Structure 1
C-alpha cells in the first residue's frame, strides 16, 4: 500500500457557524473534491469541521479533510479544481501531515505570499 497523507483545505470564516454562503461553499468544495480525487485515483474527502480554531479561539475556519496518496499531485489538482470552479481559490490554505501520525500540519499552499503558518 502506498504512503498516505492528511491534506487539509482551509477557508477563513467570520463567525463560528459561518453564513449561508459558507455552508454552500463547504458542500460544493466537498462535492468537487470527492469527484476529482476519486477520478484521479489520488484519495478521498474524509469530512470537515467548521467553527473556532483550536489554536486561536478568536479565529474561525472551515477545514475540509482529505486522505491522499500523493501530496504534490493532490495539491495541484485541488488548486486547479478550486480555481476553475470559482470556489474562493483566493482565500484558501492547504497543509499536510503523514496519515496515522499526530502533530502539526505543514503548510503547503497559502492564498497570499508571506503566510507561513497553518493552525487548525
Structure 2
C-alpha cells in the first residue's frame, strides 16, 4: 500500500509539474517578448531558464515532501495521503507561477522603461 501511494504521488505530481511547465512556457513566451521590449531572443532564453528553475524547485519540493507525514496503511489513508500531498504540490506550483509572473512583470517594466525612456538622436 505504501509503495503504491508513494508511486502514485510521484507520478501525479511530476506529470502535473511537466504539464504546467510546458503550458506556461508555450503560452508565456508572448508575455516575455512584450516584457523584454520585443527582444525575442532574450525572451526565449529567459523562458528556458524559468522552465529549468521551475522543474528544479518543484521536483525538489515534491521529493522532499514525500517523507513528511504518516505512511498510509489503509485505502482511505492512501486517498487522504494522495489528496493532501498532491494538493500541497499544486498550491506550490501556483505560488511559483504567480511569483515568477510578478518578478518578470517588475523586471520587464524596468527593462522597457530603460529602453523607451532613452532618446535616440540620429545625426
TM superposition score category, shorter chain reference: 0.3 to 0.5
Could you say which structure has the higher strand fraction?
Answer: 1
Which gives a bigger RCO, structure 1 or 2 (Cα 8 Å, sep 6+)? 2
Could you say which structure has the higher helix fraction?
Answer: 2
Structure with bigger gyration radius? 2
